[in-house]
Amino acid sequence: MENFHEPVLLEESIAALNIRDGLVYVDATLGGGGHTRAILNTGKKIKLISFDQDEAAIEHCRNSFGENYDNLTLIHDNFSNFWTGVALQKIKKIDGILFDLGVSSYQINEPERGFSFSLDGKLDMRMNNKSERTAYEIVNKFTYEELKKIFFEYGEERESSRIAKGIIKERESKNIQTTLELADIIDRYTFSHQKLKAKARIFQAIRIYLNDEINVLTTALNDAVKILNPGGRLAVISYHSLEDRIVKQLLRFQEKVCICPPSFPQCVCNKKSTLRILTKKPITPKQEEIARNSRARSAKLRIAEKKEVE
């Protein structure tokens, strides 16, 4: 698997972590190991713990470079459990954590994973193949109301209602089995000229819902803030507006010193500011990176530093 995944915003995210000797770092989303390898190749004397909930990513990295580094630990788990994984290594605090969200090119390009609307595969879309429920259950068992809500909330698709109705109608005669069948239904029930975008949005919505990506991200970011040492760095690369909004709002909330309503004469909330945001605007890839790797197109990197909190 030569082209498992081309890392996005590589230089920028490694710089964001401010890697220094003697400290502990976490790569929450190992994927093809591009960022993990770059962290190790800084040559600093660090400990690195890298997570992925996809066994294929762990296997690939273990076989291609993992065994060459005795300061690297690979853990097959959801990053919402990263605190436990870190604690099992007898580590209490960390000094930097990177989240490079979403799916890897490997996952998209393997038809049987069911993430791509242009490759024929079963309706799967599980990031962790040990999970029981697949996209098939959502597409074939969920009600019109449930489908519409998922497409609207997680895909921000304007034609959610029409597409949900189309799915309900089509599955009356036979269950929808494959990615291409679903893609064809979206094509036929979308009126606008944005059929490609509609397919991307509906597939994204099902994937986010199925893998519980929003809750998992919120939990993990809150935990990351707690487990960082003062001066420690949190770096997050997101690929769509929904994810980026969560990251932006969470960082802003953590940075705030007070959350009392403006009408209060004095502060009573006792909120502490835990983070300093280092990117007022997110870092985006340079044109040459986008030209080389179209997946980088929508990437946004946000960085924050943990404050001293008494």
Q: Which residues bind ligand SAM (CB under 6 A)?
A: 5, 7, 29, 31-35, 51-54, 57, 78-80, 100, 102-104, 127, 216
d(CA 33, CA 52): 10
Closer Cβ to ligand SAM, 106 or 142, answer by number: 106
Closer Cβ to ligand SAM, 110 or 181, answer by number: 110
d(CA 137, CA 194): 26
Give the closest residue to 52 by CA, choosing from 16, 100, 108.
100
Give the closest residue to 72 by CA, choosing from 45, 94, 98, 99.
45
Closer Cβ to ligand SAM, 35 or 307, answer by number: 35
Give the closest residue to 8 by CA, choosing from 205, 292, 305.
292
Q: How far is the CB of 175 from ligand SAM (least distance, A)?
A: 27
d(CA 53, CA 210): 14
DSSP β-bridge partners for residue 300: 238
Spatial contact of 42 and 20, defined as CB atoms under 8 Å apart: no
Closer Cβ to ligand SAM, 19 or 167, answer by number: 19
Closer Cβ to ligand SAM, 35 or 233, answer by number: 35
Say if strands 72-76 and 275-277 run parallel, antiparallel, or are unpaired: unpaired
Separation in Å, CA 29 to CA 79, 158, 185: 8, 31, 33
Spatial contact of 36 and 51, defined as CB atoms under 8 Å apart: no
Residue 283: φ, ψ to 5°: -85, 135
Closer Cβ to ligand SAM, 164 or 206, answer by number: 206
Closer Cβ to ligand SAM, 66 or 166, answer by number: 66
Separation in Å, CA 105 to CA 8, 72, 111, 219, 231: 11, 23, 11, 25, 33
Q: How far is the CB of 104 from ligand SAM (least distance, A)?
A: 4
Q: How far is the CB of 280 from ligand SAM (least distance, A)?
A: 24
Q: How far is the CB of 40 from ligand SAM (least distance, A)?
A: 12
Q: How far is the CB of 53 from ligand SAM (least distance, A)?
A: 4
Spatial contact of 78 and 223, defined as CB atoms under 8 Å apart: no
Q: How far is the CB of 124 from ligand SAM (least distance, A)?
A: 13
Sign of the alpha-carbon dihedral angle for 252, 256, 258, 264 = negative
Closer Cβ to ligand SAM, 23 or 57, answer by number: 57
Q: How far is the CB of 214 from ligand SAM (least distance, A)?
A: 11
Sign of the alpha-carbon dihedral angle for 259, 264, 265, 268 = negative
d(CA 131, CA 129): 5
Q: How far is the CB of 81 from ligand SAM (least distance, A)?
A: 8
Q: Which residue is nearest to ligand SAM (CB)?
A: 31
